[in-house]
Structure 1
Amino acid sequence: MVQPSNGVETPGLNTASSSAPLPDPVITARTDSYFNRTKRIVSHFGDCEVTYAFFIRRPVISAPGLMLEWLKNVMAERNSPYTIDLVHPEGEWVGAGEPLVYITGSFTHLADLETLLLQKLGSPCVAAHRAYQIAVSLPHTKFLAMDARHCAGYGMQELMAYAASVGGRAAKRDGAIGFIGTANDAVAPFFNSTHGYGTMPHALIGYAGSTVRAAEMFHELYPETDLVVLVDYFGKEVTDALAVCRRFPDLAAQGRLGVRLDTHGGRFLEGLNPQESYAVVDRHAPEALRRYRSDSELRYLIGTGVSAAAVWRMRDALDEAGFPHVKIIASSGFGVTKCACMADAHAPIDVVGTGSFIPDRWNETYATADIVSYNGTERVKIGREFLLPSQRKAQKGSSA
């Protein structure tokens, strides 16, 4: 019997291109040759029912949806029944080496799928874990997945967007706001959206010749879209932010205007230096300065680029000028440590755009699979006995 991926409707899976079945010659070409040879040998000497245990050799958040959806579609094309035992449903914490899912079916029809199934399991689970970590490290801030440019093609982008959505929902269950969307339309359905977020790159400001003019151009063509303006192009973040606010006072008053801080790490935000940065943070969150534990943490608090001091400096300037409803969007180098420092400094960030952080551990997939049962008889290579279903049941029984 073919079962659904996890019993829970996952946004975006119905439109995910990576879930589409592939012709058998394409699967053969993309899978490891020893699996293809195994398929032929088993077909010649007689098929049997096998159970695969899929696991990952590092802690992750379970993100099996794309893999299981693809498996469902391929096995339907092959008219081959199978069953799944999803030990860790989507969004659940999985310890290193724990079986994540058992798949039982025809050895002939499963043998040549292992390579592609692992490709669709390991990296999303790792990335979902990273998305979860960054979201809970700054729980009261919204996150936007801007990782597409850091991905090696659309296939990787789709896996990362799905992972960010899973990790974001897991973080939300633990009290964080999590991920609200992504930067382009193709993967927006994973976030229950029809479109990507974002208004303008630096290139548009260079084309317009001024930050205000770029904002005017954007608003003229997209009057119904909230306006978020990059303010670091000319190195006058505060000056240009206030100029845009004065140009669009109604949007500012309605909370439909935001400024995005993306200041280069080689300089301070306008009006700041080491002394001024220290003074700003000391005014708003003196305890954060007393608790820092490393040079990198101190840099996130009062250093160059988008620091906690930079965020507070912008918030102070906006409030003092009468624009308390203008939002601050921050990007550039946001990872767990930087977010934790921002949280410690109570930095008033409304949205964080994170790019390279989500796929940064692409090399840490460590996903693998072993057959643990042949025609109902448990058998696995020495050292992997912990994957046997009977062992798992015994462990659950002893802990009950």
Structure 2
Amino acid sequence: MTLPTPRNDASAVELAADIAGRTDAYFNRTRAIVQRFGDKTVTYAIFLRRPVISAPRLMLEWLGTVAELRGTRFEVDEVYPEGSWVGAGEPLVYITGSFTLLSDLETIALQKVGPACVAAHNAYQMALMLPEVAFLAMDARHCAGAEMQEMMAYAASVGSEAARREGARGFVGNANDATAHWFGAPSGQAPRGRGTMPHSLIGYAGSTLRAAEMFHETFPDEPLTALVDYFGREITDGLAVCRRFPELAAAGRLGLRLDTHGGRFLEGLDPAESYAVLERHAPGAIRRYRSETELRFLVGTGVSAAAIWRMRETLDAAGFPAVRIVASSGFGVDKCRVMADAKAPIDVVGTGSFIPDLWHETYATADIVDYDGNPMVKVGREFLLRRNGARRKAAPG
């Protein structure tokens, strides 16, 4: 087989150096051996060992770029299209092409697919558990650089879209401009990050109310979400902001963000009062057996279900039923499940907790399942062999 001539430009040289430097040595050596003894057309099956939502786009786009710069084409069979639920061990995608031109791509390709699929599954579960709640992706601060930031935002958008097809609101935006394109934008507007204020602005302003005033004076046309836990006076400072901006409050353009840390209760709560709050609003949630973690989410310190219910009943009693409650602080899959069980009156959740907790679960694996048209795979992986009638299409490049 005569290999195609790669494009000899700066992009190809830079990409080749990046692949050679980042891939595992035995793949680089395999490529050299195959170049010496003769190429074959091979098919890789890529899979994960746990259920996921298929999120292969970043990997496939990268493979398309490599194929173009190497002057070849890779054929792709997306067994499970983007956004599909995939069972443990099921091949997500088959990649077919020259063994010489594919053998050194495995390391980087797997990096680009496994974490995205697990994060998409997490985002999907979170959105389905709280279908009436809008989510904001606040993952960037927890990402290890720009590539992971892009991957996690993409994953949240894929999982969210899968949940939206089942009736959930899902992720409606994120916290920074660089990855906002994954979540769309109103017609005629460029995608952009969302958010009002961090704790540092409140410290700078000297009070929660003054920080809200500064924000509104600077961005008068933007909805206002005040962060109310800085001084430990979520109720007092929250009501002060509502009274200062009654028009915004009445129009539903004012929100209060609860981000109380796990070392203290929301203002006015303690264990006994937290139980009393849920007894009024969701008694069933506290009458069943609960693990220690579930109890903390329900009636413990931090942003608990009891804290959210207390804020809601306080706002309603004060005449501010349209003020939104934005909840943040550790809203992963388990916490969303408990909040749903307690029917917590949340309007928006800000979270980056769809980022996988157990990183070993994100490890994708690839095995060659076909050499020059002959099905073959190592013993124990026969489940990866291509099924009859599998479709095939060409990747870009």
* TM-score (structure 1 length as normaliser): 0.90
Does the residue aligned with 2:378 lie in a helix, a strand or coil? coil
Q: Does 1:274 find its partner at 2:252?
A: no
Deviation at 1:174, TM superposition (A): 2.1
- The aligned amino acid for 2:42 is V
Equivalent of residue 77 in structure 1, options 69, 75, 91: 69
- The aligned amino acid for 1:239 is T
Equivalent of residue 299 in structure 1, options 296, 309, 312: 296
Q: Percent identity?
A: 70
Give the Cα separation in 2 of the matches to 1:334 and 1:30.
34
Q: Does 1:116 find its partner at 2:96?
A: no
Counterpart mapping for 1:50-69 below 5 A? 50-69=42-61
Q: Does 1:197 find its partner at 2:189?
A: no
- The aligned amino acid for 1:190 is W
Give the Cα separation in 2 of the matches to 1:313 and 1:57.
42
Q: Please name the residue that 1:159 is paired with.
A: 151
Q: Does 1:101 find its partner at 2:93?
A: yes
Q: Please name the residue that 2:212 is paired with.
A: 215
Contact 1:127 1:361 in 2 (8 A): no
Q: Does 1:320 find its partner at 2:317?
A: yes
Give the Cα separation in 2 of the matches to 1:123 and 1:50.
25
Deviation at 1:258, TM superposition (A): 0.4
Give the Cα separation in 2 of the matches to 1:260 and 1:186.
23
Q: Please name the residue that 1:393 is paired with.
A: 388
Deviation at 1:21, TM superposition (A): 10
Equivalent of residue 141 in structure 2, options 129, 146, 149: 149
Give the Cα separation in 1 of the matches to 2:289 and 2:178.
40
Contact 2:356 2:362 in 1 (8 A): no
* TM-score (structure 2 length as normaliser): 0.91
Deviation at 1:337, TM superposition (A): 2.3
CA RMSD of aligned residues (A): 1.8
Give the Cα separation in 1 of the matches to 2:153 and 2:13.
20
Does the residue aligned with 1:120 lie in a helix, a strand or coil? helix
Q: Please name the residue that 1:17 is paired with.
A: none
Give the Cα separation in 2 of the matches to 1:230 and 1:313.
16
Higher relative contact order, structure no. (Cα contacts within 8 Å, ≥ 6 residues apart): 2
- The aligned amino acid for 1:121 is V
Give the Cα separation in 2 of the matches to 1:382 and 1:103.
20
Unaligned runs of 5+ in 1: 1-19, 396-400
- The aligned amino acid for 2:378 is K
Deviation at 1:357, TM superposition (A): 4.2
Equivalent of residue 259 in structure 2, options 233, 251, 262: 262
- The verdict on how the C-alpha distance between 1:289 and 1:71 changes in structure 2, with shifts beyond 3 A counting, is same
Q: Please name the residue that 2:124 is paired with.
A: 132
Deviation at 1:320, TM superposition (A): 1.4
Contact 1:373 1:380 in 2 (8 A): yes
**More divergent stretch after superposition (349-358 vs 220-229):** 349-358
How many aligned residue pairs are there? 375
Give the Cα separation in 1 of the matches to 2:304 and 2:15.
50
Q: Please name the residue that 2:335 is paired with.
A: 338
Q: Please name the residue that 2:21 is paired with.
A: 29
Q: Does 1:168 find its partner at 2:160?
A: yes
Does the residue aligned with 1:23 lie in a helix, a strand or coil? helix
Deviations 1:299-354 (A, max 9, x none): 22222111111111111111111111110000112122221221122111001111
Deviation at 1:366, TM superposition (A): 2.4
Does the residue aligned with 1:223 lie in a helix, a strand or coil? coil
Contact 1:126 1:361 in 2 (8 A): no
Equivalent of residue 366 in structure 2, options 350, 364, 369: 369
